[in-house]
Amino acid sequence: MFVVGYAVANGPLIWALLVFRNSLVFHSLDKVTSLYIHLLPTLLSFVIRWYPEETSEHWYKPFPRYEVGYSFFWLVLIPFVFVLAHQVLYIVLVNCILRPNDEYLTMYRYLTAKESSFIFRMCNIFGPRFRIQLYVAWGLSLVLIMLLFNPVWYNFFIPHCVVVSVSIIIAIYNGATYYLDVFSIERMSRHRNGNHESASSGANIAYNNTQEKVLYGALVNSDLKDGVQDANKSSN
């Protein structure tokens, strides 16, 4: 069972980090949760695979070493059947039973949202009628390709270290670019809007003060004129 979980964690899950462009953005619960889901199983399977004695110190029993060699059955075939069953269950549940409205963002809608994207073009080869079928077919084909690398990750320590390290670096890089390209622009936009509102409110205050001064001056002049007229009447 561990081998199957290892294959899924180091196959579709870790590659999904690239597909969904997971980012290490600390202030975003959504992005951190997505990264946690796709990266943590890989890290956990890594330490159990290569450091079972040290890892099992925090467990109630020792972790055995599962030596399956280059078993295509356990590292590719059974995990692919597991992913296939998950895909069928997902399609039946989402597309046939729940049928969410257009506002709900499913995985299919997310990946095919942009008509200029490569995924949309690949799914639209035969037109809109077969778009979902091609999406499922391409997805399962990619999953199978991802699983074919598992015998390498499972039997060689350094390649597995490389793929885990590269995945972490990509997540950090995506987070850094988010802070530079998206978060900073949002902050600048808010700052500009705030300055604009402050300037507008300041101009309104100055304008109101000017109007008050003009009105006050007019009232003073009117009072002076009335006083002069009353004085003239009294003298007459």
Say if 53 falls within a structural domain: yes
pLDDT digits (tens, 9 = 90+) for 49-75: 999 999 898 888 888 888 888 889 999
Does residue 217 lie within any of the structural domains?
no
pLDDT at 195: 57
**pLDDT number for residue 222:** 53
Contact 129, 123 (CB under 8 A): no
Establish if 165 belongs to a structural domain: yes
In the chain, how many domains are there?
A: 1
Residue 57 belongs to domain spanning: 1-189
Instruction: With respect to residue 83, please indicate whether it lies within any of the assigned structural domains.
Output: yes
DSSP-derived secondary structure letter, 106? -
pLDDT at 209: 53
Q: For 51-98, give the DSSP string.
A: -HHHHGGGSSSPPPP---TT-HIIIIIHHHHHHHHHHHHHHIIIIIII
Residue 185 lies in a domain: yes
Q: Are 113 and 98 in contact (CB under 8 A)?
A: no
Stretches in the chain below the pLDDT threshold 70: 191, 193-236
Read off the tokens for 130. 């077969």
Q: What is the model's pLDDT at position 180? A: 85
Quote the pTM value: 0.73
Asked if residue 31 belongs to a domain, the reply is yes
The pLDDT score that the predictor gives to residue 60 is 86
Residue 61 lies in a domain: yes
Instruction: Single out the residue of 177, 154, 174, 162 nearest to residue 17, CA to CA.
Output: 174
Residue 65 forms part of a structural domain: yes
